[in-house]
Amino acid sequence: MGRVLVLMSAAGFGTGAIFGKLAYSAGVSADALLLFRFLIAAVMMGVILLVRPSLRSAGHVTGYRVGLDARTILTGLVLGGAGYAVAAMLFFAALSHIDASVGSLVLYTYPLMVTLGTAALGRGRLTPRRGGALLAATAGTVLVLLGAGGLHYNIVGVALAFGAALVYTAYMLAADLTARHIPPMVLATLVMTGASITLAGRVLLGGGLDLHFGALGWTWVLCMALVATVLAMLAFFAGLARTDTGTVAILSTFEPVVTTTLAALTLHEFLAPLQLLGAALVLSAIPVLQLKRRTRSDPDTSAGGPPETAPAGLAQA
């Protein structure tokens, strides 16, 4: 059941890019889409915390030194406002220029960047196995981009997607430390709240929202908030409670597979054979980063691998 829940979570997160594209086609602006996504998610998760007090404590999750003080709350809000919201804005801006499948695969280079980041910060070691996985993923990303039109792909869209991956990497590295002091569901709610505040400020500075879109647009906004955010997060935490974080990290690679499949079925965005090969290299490298030998001396068992910090990851942009 734990693995099923994690797959459900990955599938939910994988629908985000699709709902974003569909919302754009219905006349919803990126600012409106993201503001209502985060706002609805923050309110719903706050209500869930009120009716389920057990989620406000570490409960079954081990390794948490819970201390919900003002500093921790502020940190969670900043993570959402300066990290998660910015990554989401960059990613959904990228979707205005490139296909959802390509954008998802470019974004999904973030676990590899987190691996390099943890090594640089001394939280993990870059072993030969991890180094090989990084090279494979880099080669795969190049193939995905080359298959998108050689040197003629939309450089703006790709740059925005890579920017989202970089910001999300920084967010993950920072959230890893915070997640050791606060229950994951509480942190997720704070992150959504912080992201809502950032998007609201952006809207106010930008002169307000254009809400002249119909019921279809609101349908995709609600789908983004409920399916790709709240339900996906709840399934993630429920799955995390029933299986180990290494397994969670490996199963989470199902997310871009869902995005790519749905993009083909609903948006008629198809990957070329060269891109499929690149996608396979990117996705196969991530489980390699997470596989652990069953010995105490294996350096990869140390804390700090990318999605080994899964509770802090919360969700993809």
Query: What pLDDT, on a 0 to 100 scale, did the predictor assign at position 299?
Result: 42
Query: What pLDDT, on a 0 to 100 scale, did the predictor assign at position 249?
Result: 63
In this prediction the pTM is: 0.79
Q: Distance between CA atoms of 229 and 41, rounded to whole angstroms?
A: 7
Phi-psi region of 215 (alpha: psi -120 to 50; beta: other; left: phi over 0): alpha
pLDDT over 90, % of the chain: 30
Structural domain total, the chain: 1
Tell me the backbone φ, ψ of residue 253, rounded to 5 degrees: -65, -5
Q: What is the per-residue pLDDT across 250-261, written as a single tens digit (0 to 9) for each?
A: 677 778 888 888
Query: What pLDDT, on a 0 to 100 scale, did the predictor assign at position 255?
Result: 81
Query: What pLDDT, on a 0 to 100 scale, did the predictor assign at position 306?
Result: 35
Residue 1, Cα to own-chain centre: how many angstroms? 22
Q: Is 184:233 a contact under the CB 8 Å cutoff?
A: no
Confidence category of residue 305, pLDDT binned at 50, 70, 90: very low
**Which of the two residues, 103 and 147, has the higher pLDDT score?**
103
When the pLDDT of each residue in the chain is averaged and rounded to a whole number, the result is: 78
What is the domain extent for residue 18? 2-313
**Which of the two residues, 194 and 206, has the higher pLDDT score?**
194
Q: What is the per-residue pLDDT across 31-71, written as a single tens digit (0 to 9) for each?
A: 999 999 999 999 999 999 899 887 776 544 444 445 567 88
Q: What is the per-residue pLDDT across 271-304, written as a single tens digit (0 to 9) for each?
A: 778 778 877 877 777 666 656 544 444 444 333 3
Residue type for position 299: P
Query: What pLDDT, on a 0 to 100 scale, did the predictor assign at position 283?
Result: 73
Residue 60 Cα distances to 43, 104, 190, angstroms: 25, 32, 21
Q: Distance between CA atoms of 76 and 179, rounded to whole angstroms?
A: 9
**Which of the two residues, 161 and 182, has the higher pLDDT score?**
161
Listing DSSP states for 9-34 in one string gives: HHHHHHTHHHHHHHHHHTT--HHHHH
Listing DSSP states for 191-252 in one string gives: HHHHHHHHHHHHHHHTT-------HHHHHHHHHHHIIIIIIHHHHHHHHHTTS-HHHHHHHT
Per mean pLDDT, which range of 74-78, 109-113, 124-128 is the poorest? 124-128
